[in-house]
Amino acid sequence: MNQRELFLRHVGQTSPAPLALEIVKAEGSVLWDAAGKSYIDLIGGISVASTGHRHPKVLRAIREQLDAYLHIMVYGEFVETPQVQYASLLASHLPPALNSVFFTNSGAEAVEGAMKLAKRSTFRSKIIACENSYHGSTQGALSIIGSEYWRNAYRPLLPGILHLPYNSQQLIDAIDETTACVMLETVQAEAGIIAPEKRWLEAVRKKCTDTGTLLILDEIQTGFGRTGRLWGFEHFNIVPDILLLGKALGGGMPLGAFVADQKLMLNLADNPVLGHISTFGGHPVCCAAGAAAFKVLLEDELYKAVPEKEQLFLSRLKHPAIRAVRSFGLLIAVAFNSFETNKKIIDRVIEKGALTDWFLFESNCLRICPPLTISESEIEAACSIILDAASF
Which of 253, 385 has the CB closer to ligand PLP? 253
Residue 89: C-alpha distances to residues 82, 229, 243, 295, 310 (Å)? 11, 17, 15, 9, 28
State the DSSP code for 219: -
> 333-392: which residues touch ligand PLP (CB under 6 A)?
none
Judged by CB under 6 A, the chain residues 244 through 303 that form the site for ligand PLP are 246, 256
Q: Of 101-160, which residues contact ligand PLP (CB under 6 A)?
A: 106-108, 111, 134-136
Q: What minimum distance in Å lies between the beta carbon of 123 and ligand PLP?
A: 26
| Closest CB 360 distance from ligand PLP, rounded Å | 8
Torsion angle defined by CA atoms of residues 380, 32, 345 and 149, in that order, rounded to the nearest 10 degrees: -120
Q: How far is the CB of 34 from ligand PLP (least distance, A)?
A: 26
Give the footprint of ligand PLP on residues 184-203 (CB under 6 A): 185, 189
Q: Which of residues 46-65 bind ligand PLP (CB under 6 A)?
A: 46
221, 227, 278, 327: which one binds ligand PLP (CB under 6 A): 221
Question: Site for ligand PLP (CB under 6 A): how many residues?
Answer: 15
Which residue is nearest to ligand PLP, using beta carbons?
107
d(CA 6, CA 338): 33
Binding mask 28-47 for ligand PLP (x = CB under 6 A): ------------------x-
Query: What's the closest the beta carbon of residue 273 comes to ligand PLP, in angstroms?
Result: 26
Nearer to ligand PLP, 52 or 136 (CB): 136
The helix/strand/coil state of 181 is strand
DSSP string spanning 67-88? HH-S--S-TTTS--HHHHHHHH
Of 122, 359, 365, the residue nearest 260 (C-alpha): 122
For residue 138, with 0-12 CB atoms within 10 Å meaning exposed, 13-18 middle and 19 or more buried, which class applies?
middle
- Residue 212: what residue type? G
Minimum distance from residue 196 beta carbon to ligand PLP (Å): 14
> Minimum CB separation from ligand PLP for residue 365, in Å?
15
Pairwise CA distance, residues 306 & 291, whole Å: 21
Query: How far is Cα 132 from Cα 218, in angstroms, rounded to an integer?
Result: 13
Give min distance, CB of 284 to ligand PLP, in A.
19
Closer Cβ to ligand PLP, 80 or 218, answer by number: 218
Pick between residue 189 and residue 389 the one whose CB is nearest to ligand PLP: 189
What does each C-alpha distance from 363 to 37, 311, 339, 356 come to in angstroms? 27, 23, 5, 12
Query: Whole-number minimum distance, CB 244 to ligand PLP, in Å?
Result: 7
> Quick one: which of 26, 51, 56 has its CA closest to 41?
26
Cβ(258)–Cβ(220) below 8 Å: no
Q: Please identify which residue in 80, 112, 218, 310 interacts with ligand PLP, judged by CB under 6 A.
A: 218
Three-class SS state of 24: strand
Distance CA 21, CA 37 (A): 11
Q: Where does this chain bind ligand PLP (CB under 6 A)?
A: 46, 106-108, 111, 134-136, 185, 189, 218, 220-221, 246, 256
